[in-house]
Structure 1
Amino acid sequence: MTLTIPGFDHVRLPGADGVELAAAVGGHGSPVVLLHGFPQTHLMWRHVAERLAGEHTVICPDLRGYGASDKPVSTGPEVYSKRTMAADVVALAAALGHERFALVGHDRGALVAFRAGLDHPEVLSHLGILDVVPTLDMWNVLHGVPAAVGYHLFLMAQPPGLPETMIANSADAFFGSFLDAWARDPAAMPEPVRSTYLRASAEAVPSIVADYRASAGIDVTHDQADQDAGSQLAMPVTVVQQDWGARLGYDAATVWRAWAPDLDHRLTGAGHFMAEEAPDEITEAIRDLLLR
C-alpha cells in the first residue's frame, strides 16, 4: 500500500540537471515548500501539511535520491551537493508557477533549505529549520564521546564502496535504528509509515550515502566560502530544535544567529521527528514565521 497525504495531488516535476522530483501538492494561498529529513520521505509532513493547506499552497517533494524522486548516479560531488539540491527545489517551485515562496526543512532537508537561503535569497520569503545546525558548524561541534550520536555522519563520509555495502547488507536494521533512537514518541510513526520509510531508504542506499558524503566535502567548502565572505540569510528565519547545544557543549542559538540576524530560535521537548511527534507545535512555529 502506498501512503499519501490525504487530499493532496501527487505529481512529478523538473528539478535541476534533468532530474525529476516527486511531490505532494495541496491547498490554496501563498506557497510553502516543506523538505523532509533522513531516513524519511515527504510523508513525514502529512500532519503539518494538512494543517497548513487551509491557508497556503503546500508543496512536499521527495529530495533527489529519496522516496519516489529520481536517484541519479553520483558521478561527482556536485550531484548531491546541497547547492544542487537547493536548485532542485527552486526549479520545482518555478514549475508550479511560484517564483517566490517560504521554505521549511527538517534534518537533511533543512541543510538544503539553508543552502537555498544563501544561494537564492531573492526567491525565499521565509526560512524554517528543524533540528540541525549548518553543515560547517555541525562538524565543528561534533567532538569527544558525545559525538558518537552522529556516527553515521562519519560512516557515510568514507570513500565509495564500503559504506554502501555495509548499509545495504543491513538496511532495515540500519535505518530502523534511527527511527527508534531519535523518536521520543514511537507511536508517531505507526507501522505502515515506518515500513514506508524503511522500504524507501533500502531502495536508495547509494544516493543517501552520496548525500551524506557531500556533507563531508563539497557542502563544507560552500559553507566555508560563505562564512569567509560574511554571507548571511536575508529573510526571517525560525529554528526549532532539541537542546543539542546542552548535550554537545555549544550554544545553538549563537551558532544560528551568526548566519541569521532575523532569528526566532525555539527549543522543543519533542524528539527529532518533531513534525510527526508534535505537529501542532511545528505548525504554530511555521505560522508564526510566515507572519514576520
Structure 2
Amino acid sequence: MAPAPTIPGFEQRRVLVADGVALHAAVGGSGTPIVLLHGFPQTHLMWRQVAADLAADHTVICPDLRGYGASDKPADPDGTAYAKRTMAADTVALARALGHDRFALAGHDRGALVAFRAGLDHPGAVTHLACLDVLPTLDMWDVMHGTSAAVGFHLYLMAQPPGLPEQLIAAAPDAFFGHFLDLWSADPASTPPEVRAAYLAACRAAVPSIVADYRASAGIDLEHDRADREAGRRLAMPVTVLQQDWGAALGFDARARWSGWAADLAHSTVDCGHFMAEEAPELVTAALRELLRR
C-alpha cells in the first residue's frame, strides 16, 4: 500500500490542546508563524502547495481540525464539543504549545469559520486573518433562502438532531463526500487521486464528528455570532477575504456582509472553484503574503 500523502519537508506533530483532545498538525519552515485551517471535506493536505511556499520565510502550522483527519474526535453530548468557539480555542492552544502566543491565521470553508471565531474571541493572539470562500455563520443563514438554497442542502441535512444524518451519510460516505469534491471543483485535476483518496478515507472515519461540526453551525455558533453582532463586536486585525462570485447567484453582496464584521478589510472575488488553495495556490499565497505585509 502506498504511504499516505504528506506536505514534503513538514514534521508531523501530535499536540494536546484541550482535556483529552489532541490535534494532528504538519509543521514546517521558520520565521513569523501562520496557522492554516482546512475546510470540508478535506484535511490539512489542502494547504500542501501554499504551505510549502510560505515555509520559505514563515513557520507554517497546518492542523487537522478536531473531528477531522488524524485529530481526535471527541463525543458531543451537549452540543459544544464542535462549537467554533471550542475549535478556535484549540487553534490558540496549538500555537501556544508550539511556542507562538501571536500568529497569523487563515482558514478555508469550515476552517474559515473557526478562524473567524478565533479572531473575535482571541484578538490578542491573532495578528492577521484570512477567510476563504465562506460567510460568517449568521450571514450564511441570512442569505440562504428559496430554491437557490438547494446548493446548501448538506447544511440543512446535518443540522438535524443526532441519528438520521449520521445514518444516511455513513451508508454511502464516499458518494456523499465525493459529491462535494466533484461539484465544488472547477479543476478536478487540482486534487490528485492519492489526495482525494486520503480525503475520502478521513471523512469515512469521521462521519459523527463532521455532522456535529455542521450541527453546531445551526445552533451554538449562530447564537455566538448573533450575540457578537448585537454587542457590536468586530474583528480588530487586518482581514483578507477571497470568495467565488456566489453572492450574485444567491442575491447578496458578499463584500458588504464582510464589511459589517471587519473595518480593515481586503475583499476579492476570485475566478476559480471552491477549493482555491489547490486550484489557484499562487493566487492564495500572494494574497496571504500581501495580508501579512499590512
Same-fold call, TM cutoff 0.5: yes
For residue 197 of structure 1, what is the aligned residue in structure 2? 199
What is the alpha-carbon distance in structure 2 between the residues aligned to residue 235 and residue 16 of structure 1?
Answer: 26
Amino acid at match of 1:242: Q
Residue 190 of structure 1 deviates from its aligned partner by 1.2
For residue 98 of structure 1, what is the aligned residue in structure 2? 100
Following superposition of structure 1 onto structure 2, how do residues 131-170 of structure 1 map, counting pairs within 5 Å? 131-170=133-172
For residue 113 of structure 1, what is the aligned residue in structure 2? 115
Q: Does 1:86 align with 2:88?
A: yes
For residue 72 of structure 1, what is the aligned residue in structure 2? 74
For residue 235 of structure 2, what is the aligned residue in structure 1? 233
Q: Does 1:49 align with 2:51?
A: yes
Local SS of the residue matching 1:48 = helix
What is the alpha-carbon distance in structure 1 between the residues aligned to residue 270 and residue 257 of structure 2?
Answer: 17
Amino acid at match of 1:143: H
What is the alpha-carbon distance in structure 2 between the residues aligned to residue 12 and residue 44 of structure 1?
Answer: 18
Count of equivalent residues:
292
For residue 11 of structure 2, what is the aligned residue in structure 1? 9
- TM-score (norm. length: structure 2): 0.99
Local SS of the residue matching 1:79 = coil
The C-alpha deviation readout for 1:97-119, integer Å capped at 9, x for no partner, is 00000000000000000000000
- TM-score (norm. length: structure 1): 0.99
Residue 18 of structure 1 deviates from its aligned partner by 2.7
What is the alpha-carbon distance in structure 2 between the residues aligned to residue 246 and residue 31 of structure 1?
Answer: 35
What is the alpha-carbon distance in structure 1 between the residues aligned to residue 232 and residue 79 of structure 2?
Answer: 24
What is the alpha-carbon distance in structure 1 between the residues aligned to residue 254 and residue 224 of structure 2?
Answer: 21
What is the alpha-carbon distance in structure 1 between the residues aligned to residue 244 and residue 38 of structure 2?
Answer: 17
5+ residue gaps, structure 1, are none
Q: Does 1:40 align with 2:42?
A: yes
What is the alpha-carbon distance in structure 2 between the residues aligned to residue 60 and residue 123 of structure 1?
Answer: 17
Q: Does 1:284 align with 2:274?
A: no
Residue 244 of structure 1 deviates from its aligned partner by 1.5
- Whether the aligned pair in 2 keeps the contact of 1:16 and 1:84 (CA below 8 Å) is no
The C-alpha deviation readout for 1:53-91, integer Å capped at 9, x for no partner, is 001000000000000000001111110000000000000
5+ residue gaps, structure 2, are none
Aligned-pair identity in percent equals: 68
What is the alpha-carbon distance in structure 2 between the residues aligned to residue 155 and residue 66 of structure 1?
Answer: 19
What is the alpha-carbon distance in structure 1 between the residues aligned to residue 17 and residue 156 of structure 2?
Answer: 29
The C-alpha deviation readout for 1:15-41, integer Å capped at 9, x for no partner, is 123310000000010000000000000
For residue 172 of structure 1, what is the aligned residue in structure 2? 174
Q: Which moved more, 1:261-270 or 1:11-20?
A: 11-20
For residue 213 of structure 2, what is the aligned residue in structure 1? 211
Residue 156 of structure 1 deviates from its aligned partner by 0.1
Q: Does 1:183 align with 2:185?
A: yes
What is the alpha-carbon distance in structure 1 between the residues aligned to residue 19 and residue 86 of structure 2?
Answer: 9
Amino acid at match of 2:46: M
Amino acid at match of 2:170: A
What is the alpha-carbon distance in structure 1 between the residues aligned to residue 285 and residue 15 of structure 2?
Answer: 26
Report the RMSD for the aligned CA atoms in angstroms: 0.5
Query: Out of 268, 271, 284, which is 2:270 matched to?
Result: 268
